[in-house]
Structure 1
Amino acid sequence: MGARGTEEFTLGAPRAGTTPPHRPTGRARAWPVLPWVACALALIVAAVAVAPAPPPGVSPWGYLPHLRERPELAWQLESTEVTGAWAFGGVLAVADLSGVAGMDARSGRERWRLDARAPRCTSDGTLLTCLTRREDAVLVVDPDSGATNRWDVPDAVAAIAYEDGVVAVTTSGLTRIDADGRALWTQPRTLGAPVAEGPAVIDGWLFVSVLGPVGGLVPLDVETGEPGDLEVVGRSVSRVREGLWTSSADGTIRLFARDQQQHQVGDPRDYVATVSDPALLAEPLPRTQSQWSPLALLPGVALGSVDGTRVAALDTSTGHELWRRELVMGWIETPLVDEETMVTTVLDPATGSRSTVQAIDARTGADRWRLERPGHIRTMIGGNRHLYLLDAFGVTAWELSR
């Protein structure tokens, strides 16, 4: 970041429209084009054509490049009402109790805002879908511009964009609605079970997890609404992170990652959901005599939690323990990794709070860097070459080295 100072912002700006930006029409005045101008325009067009696309959010497997060096604070959003955030290419969508805003990933400036009371939002990696409870309206939002399309879904409690329509969870069932507002199918669900996570559509299957003893619903075929075969999709689904869900049945754990092939794990000791490259999942993890629970898999190294208070690393080719150190992580912690670093929030056993982010060298166990926050870190996500931390005081964006 160099000498650029920290920029602070608060939510509140002109509302985004509910239709795509207007394209002016009418007759434009024609100007003669000089040869050198034509050449310059051709070079600009060529440069735009080959320019890389904006970097996406963190991969479903928790891979985020450039974690080796300590990131620099780029900007922060001060708010005690932030409820969630989702990374897109060039934009961080931030929801609070009064609406959702699109923040420019580099500067933190607000590009657009939609007013909605305590919106519940989901992401399919491309579009943001938000439910406004008061109006029973489902809004599908273009995260770059804030332009929206609306579906009226009575008694909706959660929804996700799919193709040219939406899939919604209501108080009585699940339904898929097309672009004209017609229900293509409806499937009843157990009443009185609040939605915990989702919905999400991955590899043609609809995933929803609910609270209580019911657990996750059986994945549904998003085209027909019919429940999937337990031998194919399992049951008891749960969300690991954005774009990655698991299901289990008869001792087999299945991992469903957005835009990737399903992975099956026959032995729970081989289950790991944070990897620098999913191709590493093809080989079984090394065995150890310790009570070792896998946390992350990097080239040549597997990291795991030992007794909940320590982390150990194993050489994946030999099974030899490379190092062991004290590090208390939450039992549902989902760290981030690159090819040689693991980044995680650290739990303070005395207070039960996670106010520290720690980066560890996967080969040696040495500290790479630490970030200290004044309050409990609720969420850590990555994307747009940034690490985003959500806590009781708002959002901080940390720019990663390039």
Structure 2
Amino acid sequence: MADNKILGIDRATGEELWTLPATGPRCSDDGARLTCVSGHGQDARILLVDPLAGAAGAVPMPGVAQALTDGDDLVILTQVAAEYRVSRLDGAVMALARMQGSGPGVSSTGGPTASVPDWAADPTWLTSLEPGVSDWPPTIALFGTEVMVSVPREADGPSGSAIANLEGHILDVATGDLIEDTSRAEPGGLESGWLVERAQGGLALYSPGRGPVSLGQGQQFLQVDDDPASPIAIRTVESAPVPDGQGNAPPVSEMVATSSETGEVLWSRPDEWAVARLDGHVLTTTGTSLVGVDETSGAERWTLGRENGIWCPCVGGGHVLAGFAMNFERPDAEQAGPAPTLVGIDVRTGDLVWWLPSDGWWVQVVLDGDRMYAITQADQSSISAWDVG
């Protein structure tokens, strides 16, 4: 996706297969179809895209912010001045599919001023929710029979300044009935799922294609975590800032490992915070270095300086953590000096497993078996594919 278009790219070759015009597209996929919202306010519309052919059916839907498929139906989130509305449109997917042509292009009921068709204006159910912070849009996701809604709402911060808390609402996908209000519903980055605090069951990680995973007592959400239900809970604790005598008051952080059963502190590491857990190792950072720590004992196994340390977003599998190294000294670079690089680190030893040149800052990455797709941002965005198996 780009600011004004949706691109279809061949996974094997990187060849552009098709392109569709869209304004600030927000898309989701169900494995077979791409559902996108294009435009904002009165100009917003919903697109159902065949990702193989690039054929799209479109319908105007003023105020729509996000749309998800549920079988042949759509669940949509609409923003109006006084409230958020979550609704279900039965048969909407089939209606949009019938509008699709045989090749790339958008077939619609008309331009932004066209009337909303009857099937789109008559939802099966509609649930209204209190709006949140105006410049931070809400988000929805579908997990099993439940619709999760994350709404940023203003709250008082530790120092009295206003902050945004991501509160949640859980709806029944069939009826729209409100099942539960939650104090926490945080959409994760990349493909890491949602972190939801529920009245029954506590903190759980919701991800597509699997049931919720309950996090142990005291466990922090980590972007990469191959054992979120571990009996050893990892979290970063921040204390009140302490003035340093020079007018500065940096926050004080400590990474703490506790028993998820009893809450007993097992070990701690001051001035560090957790980045990832993989293959029995916890990776932490001091802000200037990446540290590999034994999950059981808290013993330091290795340290990498800023030039080779990984910065997230990151992904992991097996015993390799992949991320972005800003000042990496490439072994066979044509020119001397550090350069932005994608690197794979063995979490057991800190050794470099592989490195890949990057033309900018790594903003998103997806693993597909042994192939990695990365979007980087410099003067412009670019996408690349790498075999890393």
TM-score by length of structure 1 reads: 0.64
- Give the 3 Å change call, closer, same or farther, for CA 223–309 of structure 1 in structure 2: farther
- Distance in 1 (CA, whole Å) between partners of 2:179 and 2:302 is 43
CA deviation profile, 1:325-369 (whole Å, cap 9, x unmatched):
334666xx3421120110112467xxxxx9442321110012223
Match of 1:20 in 2: none
Letter matched to residue 395 of structure 1:
S
Provide Cα deviations, 1:198-226, integer angstroms capped at 9, x if missing partner.
Answer: 32212322234344526333232222223
Identity %: 21
Match of residue 124 from structure 2: 184
Structural RMSD (CA): 3.1
Structure 1 CA distance, aligned partners of 2:183 and 2:179? 8
The answer (yes or no) to whether the contact 2:28–2:34 under 8 Å persists in 1 is yes
Aligned to 2:278: 298
Is the 1:207–1:237 contact (alpha carbons within 8 Å) kept by the matching residues of 2? no
Shift of the 260–208 alpha-carbon distance from structure 1 to 2, 3 Å rule, reads: same
CA drift at 1:136: 3.0
Does structure 2 conserve the Cα–Cα contact (< 8 Å) formed by 1:132 and 1:138? Answer: yes
Aligned length: 296
Gaps of 5+ in 2: 93-118, 155-163, 234-256, 258-265, 328-338
Looking at secondary structure, tell me which structure has more strand per residue.
Answer: 2
Q: Distance in 1 between matches of 2:326 and 2:178?
A: 39
Whether the aligned pair in 2 keeps the contact of 1:165 and 1:179 (CA below 8 Å) is yes
- Counterpart CA distance in 1 for 2:87 and 2:324 is 37
Q: Distance in 1 between matches of 2:326 and 2:146?
A: 34
The answer for the alignment partner of 2:363 in structure 1 is 378
Q: Return closer, same or farther for 1:224/1:345 CA change in 2, 3 Å cut-off.
A: farther
Higher RCO (CA-CA < 8 Å; seq separation 6+) = 1
1:323 and 2:310 are equivalent in the alignment: no
Q: Is the 8 A contact 1:256 1:263 kept in 2?
A: yes
Distance 1:240 1:298 in 2: 18
2:347 aligns with one of 362, 373, 378: 362
**Which of 302, 311, 328 is matched with 2:290 structurally?**
311
Task: Choose which of 250, 265, 272 in structure 1 pairs with 2:222.
Answer: 272
Question: CA contact under 8 A between 1:294 and 1:305: conserved in structure 2?
Answer: yes
Q: Which residue of 1 aligns with 2:376?
A: 390
Counterpart of 1:139, as a letter, is L
2:64 maps to 156
Answer yes or no: is the 8 Å Cα contact 1:195–1:208 preserved in 2.
no
Q: Quote how far apart the aligned CAs of 1:389 are.
A: 2.2
Structure 2 counterpart of 1:281, from 198, 221, 229 = 229
Compared CA separation, residues 334 and 390, structure 1 to 2 (3 A):
closer
Give 3-state SS (helix, strand or coil) of 2:292's partner. Answer: strand
1:308 Cα deviation after fit? 3.5
Give, as a single letter, the amino acid of the residue that structure 2 aligns with 1:383.
D
Q: Is the 8 A contact 2:6 2:21 kept in 1?
A: yes
Contact 1:294 1:302 in 2 (8 A): no
Runs of 4+ in 1 over 6 A off after TM superposition: none
- The Cα shift of 1:122 comes to 2.4
1:131 maps to a residue whose letter is V
Where structure 1 has 5 or more consecutive residues not aligned to the other structure, the ranges are: 1-94, 349-353
Q: Is the 8 A contact 1:130 1:139 kept in 2?
A: yes
Preserved CA contact (<8 Å) 1:270 1:284: no
Aligned twin of 1:218: 169
Tell me which moved more, 163-172 or 387-396: 387-396
Q: Give per-residue Cα distances to partners, 1:143-175, cap 9 Å, x unaligned.
A: 222233444423212222222121111113111
Q: Which secondary structure state, in structure 1, belongs to the residue aligned with residue 178 of structure 2?
A: coil
Q: Give the TM-score of the pair, scaled to structure 2.
A: 0.66
